[in-house]
Amino acid sequence: MTDTSVPSSPSAGESDTGTRKRKPRSGWIFLRDLLIIFVIALLASVLIKTFLVRSFYIPSGSMENTLQINDRILVNQLEPGLMPIERGDVVVFKDPGGWLPAKAEPAKNPIVAALDWVLEGVGLAPDDADDHLIKRVIGLPGDEVTCCNALGQMEVNGVPLDESSYLKLPDGVSAVSQQPFDVTVPEGSLWVMGDNRYNSADSRYNQDKPGGGFVPIDDVVGRAIIVTWPIDHWTWLDNHGSVFQSVPAPSGGGG
């Protein structure tokens, strides 16, 4: 005899139980995927900061009006590692020794200090600039840099520079430096100066320090490429290559 009975369907209670069993699994998968995305983003941020770009803030007015106090900037770390430094580049570098005064570390709440350390480590907060400086490159290895000629201009390898496109000078002053100098940049080093020329303790003022005021290229973190904050200061940073385009290579073959 043929069985014509219809199989009974699952009760409502059984269906609800199956649904409840599936929900925790779906929630765990979502949390797992979210954690994976977070870890990947964190690793990417660390790698970007380590090898590509790094954030700094500007603590002083030595680079006005190019950079203002408390500006945030991004620094391209491929220069000078993979890309050569050029005259006119604005570079961030570690203190070569004695350029910055000793500064007591301000007391911080341990939780705030830990959070700052984590955010700086992954590149989500600008680095503390207490042991770094930012200046414009004027002389490359082998260059002879002198100041000032009869018109108050600085010369590189005998060519006078028109720096009016980026310099900030006191009213009524035409000489680009109140301190005369005549130097030849040694191999592996740079001669750097601030754009706010009368308010910048740069290579001129550190000739009595280790290194004679020259910055070792190995101490350069990278080239400043963009102002990211505040929004109304947002701009790409120009190296004003036209100022230096007529400067010949140094006679000694450096650079």
Q: Which residue has the tokens 């995927």?
A: 33
Q: Considering 45, 108, 135, 174, which one is annotated as catalytic?
A: 135
Q: Taking a C-beta distance cutoff of 8 angstroms, is the pair 194, 203 a contact?
A: no
135 is an active site residue: yes
209 is an active site residue: no
Identify residue 86 by its one-letter amino acid code. Answer: E
Q: Considering 49, 62, 189, 200, which one is annotated as catalytic?
A: 62
CA distance 165 to 141: 24
Q: Which residue has the tokens 């680079």?
A: 63
Q: Report the length, in residues, of the chain.
A: 255
Who's near 190: CB < 8 A, 6+ residues apart? 85, 91, 137, 139, 140, 141, 214, 215, 216, 217, 220
* Residues labelled as active-site residues: 62, 135
